[in-house]
Structure 1
Amino acid sequence: MTSVKERPPALFAGASRRWVRLLPWGVAFVLCVALLPTTVQVLTADYGLHGGIASALAVAQAAPLLLAVVRPLPAWYVIFAADVSGALALLTVDFEGRLLWPFPPMEIVGYVGLCLALGLRERRRTLLLVWLATAGANVGLEFAVPAGSSSNGMLLTILSGVALLLAGALRERSEAQRRLVEQETISEAERDRRTLLEERARIARELHDVVAHHMSVITVQADTAAYRLDEVPPNVQEELTSIAATARESLGEMRRLLGVLRSEETRGELAPQPGLTQIGQLVEATVRAGMPVEFTRCDAEVPEAVGLSAYRIVQEALANVVRHAPGAPTHVSVSRDGERLTVLVVNDPPPEPPAGPLEVGGTGHGLVGMRERVRLVGGTIDVGPLPDGGFRVAARLPLTGEDFT
């Protein structure tokens, strides 16, 4: 099975605007249409070259400019050979000394345009070789300058070098900017991934504390059942002993897992994890900081994992209000609706637009943690701005065990 070689893209093919993508084709078309008849006219009328030879040279010097939009290096091979051949062909005719040799003006225009296309596509080494070939050909032609004629080979050498240098510098700058954008995109994705992993590790530690509490209760209840209950049958006592041993073993495994997840810098997380009852304290602390917050309390019994997620969602939402809408009236509501806990944090627009963010170095990834917490407990979250300029965070967390699966 043979593979088809992919055609290289045209110059500026990756531009977002259509007119920029069409610009190289338009310039090449204008140059081709303008230079083709002009070259034939000048070579025949002014220099006295045979019409057939002049036409062939004109086509070889102008038509490849269209090819240069896609493949500038093959186009250079053709035009360079045609220009040198044209200079040698002019040595066979007797033309006036006032005319330039070896390259008439229209050939210089076409060659400089070709050099611009080369600089936008090829690497430094190729550009250097092209310029050395141009300079070498001009040096060689200097030895054959007709008597009384003015040579413009040096002019072409300088102009082609400038065109190659400017276009090459523009290409390298564009590539550097593209690589910078790609690197920033990769870095942003990596930051999102790291934030997500850190939040998952934190949730794992917190859920471990919740589960560890229940496992400890199971162990204690199983161990003390024989002392709290009268006349426990031996088979039941054996079963309770087995349950206590299994619970202790599981608790030890989870503590070892927690030792892996926790680092030396996270000793503060050994404190009991907050829940619904601590949301009021969180709101009071925000009010003392100068934020007008109204709180609708919910005293329902909920699973500890759900209460912890609700606390963290309110904590992050209030922190965002302080950062981005200082002084905005805010309403926090936690209510139970059947088998779901609804957490709602809504803030109005700030009284005065803040001059700038209170935290310059913020990552803006707090919403990632919110969504991850809600997803891990099987809930849903709706986050977004309001028409009046405020902001709304609404989460619904399941309370039944089936919803956690």
Structure 2
Amino acid sequence: MPPSSPPPSPSSPPAPPHSPADGVLSATLRNLREIARALSHPSRPPRPLLADAPKQWQRLVPYVVVLALVAVFVPVTITVLNDQYGLRGGIAGALAVAQAAPLLMLAHRPLQAWWIIFPAQVLTAIVLLGQDGGQNSAWPWTPPGFISYLFLLLALSLRERRRTLIAVWLAPGAAGLILYLASSERGDNNSILFLILGAVVLVIGAAVRERGDARRLLAEQETISEAERAQRTLLEERTRIARELHDVVAHHMSVITVQADSAPYRLQGLPDEARAEFASIAASARESLGEMRRLLTVLRSEGTKGERAPQPGLDRVQQLVEATVRAGLPAELSLPAGLKGVPQTVDLSAYRIVQEALANVVRHAPGARTRVSISSDGAHLTVLVVNDPPERTGSSLAPRTPVETTGTGHGLVGMRERVRLTGGTLDTGPLPDGGFRVAARLPLPPASAPSVSPVPPSNPENS
């Protein structure tokens, strides 16, 4: 048996029933408050139209247009009020200025201009009620006021939200209906025509604004996507550098392990304390190798066998340049013989910089003659890759079409990361003749720095 509901408290009287009329009235009042707020609060800041245009003359166009509108509508409105409607004296001039002068605000504050233009046009229609002239003329909106209000609607449609546009479109219709009921014997009532043309103008302006907003959002999204791609490329390059650093560090840790394990056999007469110290060093080195193996599992894809190959260095730059020449790119190499004392990190970074620079030439300047120069002054290793403009074919003056017409700069991201890793500097940029230059300066250790004996690891592939 379901539980019975508790009886109502005798101290609280039942709420009176709500009639449908109350709901309609509250909804109407709420909508009127929203419309009033929309008419009193612009939806966008008072920035001029075309404020983001790249050229100054484009930014000046809205001001030129509104000046031309005021210069045309003020004298035309005065003439029409005098000749067609029989309104004489300073009243015609004051009403004309009140209707047309606020058009100066269309470029940046059209909603504030509406609060001046619309009451001025309603006041003009009321003043014309007492005039004998113009009984058969268009009413309540004079032809100049009619056209100027369409310009006002166009400016509003480019800035304001939909609720505001509906309000400024319906307001003249409601005012025209009230004026028609007050004096139905006047001439042709143009309120219906005004509503039709006003709706057309608002639709056109809203379509133009939405198209501009869509293009702006698309440009912003492309900028965000490009930034995300650059960040992803940066992270991928850092991961690649970490993998290569692992190979370099693992080699040296393997050397330390072998030397520490073999020290008691190579050095006779070691005390027990020294033997224990060497054993502790070997154990620490093995533990570090184990940690790096776990790190390698995270950083390296098991299906990518190319990552497990020995890391290249300056000794393979010659092969790299020869492979580039076979691919159709005329390249020259200047590499001093017997270049020694280069740390593995600098050695690998120099090779990768040359590799990426040549790849960029192939993609963006096919056929361009390229010069690769690697030199050392004892303190720094300098890597210089300079290419000429793209080669021009014999039958045409147009350059050979590049593989990629637009560059993302992601190759330069990897170069900067490698140079930053070694503490060097990188200078890249176009040349006056249309070529491109990549110059990296990588620091070298002092000549007196002690070097580790080149004892190979037992199995570097498993490290």
Question: Scaled by the length of structure 1, what TM-score is found?
Answer: 0.88
- Between the aligned partners of 1:401 and 1:259, the Cα distance in structure 2 is 35
Q: 1:142 Cα shift?
A: 4.4
In structure 2, the residue matched to 1:396 is 441
In structure 2, the residue matched to 1:300 is 339
- Between the aligned partners of 1:332 and 1:110, the Cα distance in structure 2 is 69
Instruction: Identify the range of structure 1 (77-86 vs 230-239) with the bigger mean alpha-carbon deviation.
Output: 77-86
In structure 2, the residue matched to 1:121 is 159
- Between the aligned partners of 1:181 and 1:217, the Cα distance in structure 2 is 54
- Name stretches of at least 5 consecutive residues in structure 1 with no aligned partner: 1-5
Q: What is the aligned counterpart of 1:335 among 367, 371, 375?
A: 375
Change (3 A) 1:13 1:286: closer
Change (3 A) 1:308 1:126: same
Change (3 A) 1:324 1:7: closer
- Between the aligned partners of 1:348 and 1:11, the Cα distance in structure 2 is 45
- Between the aligned partners of 1:327 and 1:32, the Cα distance in structure 2 is 61
1:169 aligns with 2:196: no
- Name stretches of at least 5 consecutive residues in structure 2 with no aligned partner: 1-43, 393-397, 448-463
Instruction: Identify the range of structure 1 (46-55 vs 293-302) with the bigger mean alpha-carbon deviation.
Output: 46-55
- Between the aligned partners of 1:80 and 1:142, the Cα distance in structure 2 is 17
In structure 1, the residue matched to 2:274 is 236
Q: What is the aligned counterpart of 1:32 among 45, 62, 70?
A: 70
Q: What is the aligned counterpart of 2:238 among 197, 200, 213?
A: 200
In structure 2, the residue matched to 1:326 is 366
Q: 1:136 Cα shift?
A: 3.4
The answer to whether the Cα contact below 8 Å between 1:324 and 1:354 also exists between their aligned partners in 2 is no
% identical aligned pairs: 62
Q: 1:363 Cα shift?
A: 4.4
In structure 1, the residue matched to 2:27 is none
Q: 1:274 Cα shift?
A: 0.9
- Between the aligned partners of 1:284 and 1:12, the Cα distance in structure 2 is 54
In structure 2, the residue matched to 1:3 is none
The answer to whether the Cα contact below 8 Å between 1:91 and 1:146 also exists between their aligned partners in 2 is no
Q: 1:159 Cα shift?
A: 2.5
Q: 1:175 Cα shift?
A: 1.7
Pairing of 1:253-268 with structure 2 (within 5 A): 253-268=291-306
Which whole-Å deviations, capped at 9, do the CAs of 1:225-274 have from their partners, x for residues lacking one? 11122122212111111111221222222222222222345443122111
1:379 aligns with 2:418: no
Higher relative contact order (CA 8 A, sep 6+): 2
- Between the aligned partners of 2:406 and 2:57, the Cα distance in structure 1 is 39
Change (3 A) 1:182 1:304: same
Q: 1:51 Cα shift?
A: 3.9
Q: 1:210 Cα shift?
A: 0.2
1:83 aligns with 2:121: yes
In structure 1, the residue matched to 2:386 is 346
- Which amino acid is the alignment partner of residue 203 of structure 1? I
- Between the aligned partners of 2:194 and 2:370, the Cα distance in structure 1 is 72
- Between the aligned partners of 1:326 and 1:21, the Cα distance in structure 2 is 41
The answer to whether the Cα contact below 8 Å between 2:172 and 2:191 also exists between their aligned partners in 1 is no
Which whole-Å deviations, capped at 9, do the CAs of 1:137-160 have from their partners, x for residues lacking one? 344444456547222223322332
Which whole-Å deviations, capped at 9, do the CAs of 1:68-121 have from their partners, x for residues lacking one? 333212321332222223223322222244422212211112211211211111
Find the residue that maps to 1:150 and give its secondary structure. Answer: coil
In structure 1, the residue matched to 2:18 is none
Instruction: Identify the range of structure 1 (365-374 vs 338-347) with the bigger mean alpha-carbon deviation.
Output: 338-347
Q: Kindly report the root-mean-square deviation, in angstroms, between the aligned alpha carbons of the 2 structures.
A: 2.6
The answer to whether the Cα contact below 8 Å between 2:364 and 2:405 also exists between their aligned partners in 1 is no
- Which amino acid is the alignment partner of residue 386 of structure 1? L
Pairing of 1:15-30 with structure 2 (within 5 A): 15-30=53-68
The answer to whether the Cα contact below 8 Å between 1:102 and 1:141 also exists between their aligned partners in 2 is yes
- Between the aligned partners of 1:224 and 1:373, the Cα distance in structure 2 is 35
The answer to whether the Cα contact below 8 Å between 2:363 and 2:402 also exists between their aligned partners in 1 is yes
In structure 1, the residue matched to 2:320 is 282
